[in-house]
Amino acid sequence: MVENRPFLTMLSHLVVILGVIVIAFPVWMTFVASTHSQETMLQSPIPLLPGPHLLENYTKVLTEGYGRVGSTAVTMTLTNSLIMALGVALGKIAISIISAFAIVYFRFPGRMYFFWAIFVTLMLPVEVRIVPTYGVVANLGMLDSYGGLIIPLIASATATFLFRQFFLSVPDELTEAARVDGASPMRFFWDILLPMSRTSIAAMFVIQFIYGWNQYLWPLLITTKESYYTVVMTVSRQANVVDSVPSWNLLMAMAMLAMLPPVLVVVFMQRQFVRGLVETEK
């Protein structure tokens, strides 16, 4: 800082701490709710500090699940979410990195058409064209399958653009050297380009993992079998069932489990996360 103003520094700390508290409060209350018994959670006001039922609640949702509209063990929905998130992240990276490679390192007829075809997909989120996309997936017989959960979501341009941007910054001398040494294009890709792209791949992975994990509408529409339910959609489904007495403790334990993996990814891969966010917007 340019000058020493203890009062302003104090104020800054105070404001940021208040902000952190406000932002963390919903998650704190969710955690608290997940550690009490059902009876405690039915009295208003509910407690503000954790109770003794943490293990019991989490074991119950993980093994039996919880629900008034068919309960699915959370271990299973977590596994499905993990498969979906990994599939979306890795699938996107795989198809994008090779198409970016083709567009940057080759001259071929129709190249610009491909480029623009990919570019327009940048514009339309799946929510906008949800009804016809559902129709296409149903026609292809991909409802209730991991393929149906994953493949339609990996068609997106962000990753292609990120890798294109990165490839353009790779010095031409490397390509020349590889060509002089007689390396084939794929050899160049595997041995030089791919190792160099590690940080971009990691940044992309974090962003797309979160994107895949947090999908809601898509799995909600195309899965009817419980064995394909993802954790995010079950949390919201159960929360939406009115009547009967809700077991807030179990529902909130489920919500905690649904949040935990992506939050851990962001917290532990913070550098890659920030990089990914900033770079996908370039």
Window 205-244: residues binding another protein (CB under 8 A):
210, 213-217, 220-221, 232-233, 235-236, 239-240
Q: Which helix (H) or strand (E) holds 34?
A: none
Residue 108: how many other CB atoms lie within 10 Å = 8
- Are 206 and 266 in contact by the 8 Å Cβ rule? The answer is yes
- State which of positions 53-82 bind another protein (CB under 8 A): none
Cα Dmax for the chain: 76
Q: Which helix (H) or strand (E) holds 159?
A: helix 158-168
| Position 112 contacts another protein (CB under 8 A) | no
Residue from 201, 247, 255, 272 in contact with another protein (CB under 8 A): 255
| Position 108 contacts another protein (CB under 8 A) | yes
Cα–Cα distance between 269 and 282 in angstroms, integer?
Answer: 20
Residue from 38, 62, 83, 105 in contact with another protein (CB under 8 A): 105
- What is the token pair recorded at 72? 């699915």
- State which of positions 126-165 bind another protein (CB under 8 A): 127-137, 140, 151-152, 154-155, 160
| Position 282 contacts another protein (CB under 8 A) | yes
HSE value, Cβ hemisphere, 13 Å, CA-based, for 168: 9
Binding mask 20-39 for another protein (x = CB under 8 A): x--xxxxx-xx--x------
Identify which of residues 75 and 216 has a Cβ nearer to another protein in the complex.
216
Judged by CB under 8 A, the number of residues near another protein is 108
- Which letter does DSSP use for residue 45 in this model? S
Residue from 72, 96, 223, 247 in contact with another protein (CB under 8 A): 96
- What is the token pair recorded at 195? 């190792």
| Position 121 contacts another protein (CB under 8 A) | yes
| Position 176 contacts another protein (CB under 8 A) | yes
CB of 35 vs another protein, minimal distance in Å = 14
CB of 59 vs another protein, minimal distance in Å = 21
Helix (H, G, I), strand (E, B) or coil at 72: coil
Residue 139 sits at φ, ψ, to 5 deg, of -60, -35
- What is the token pair recorded at 208? 């797309």
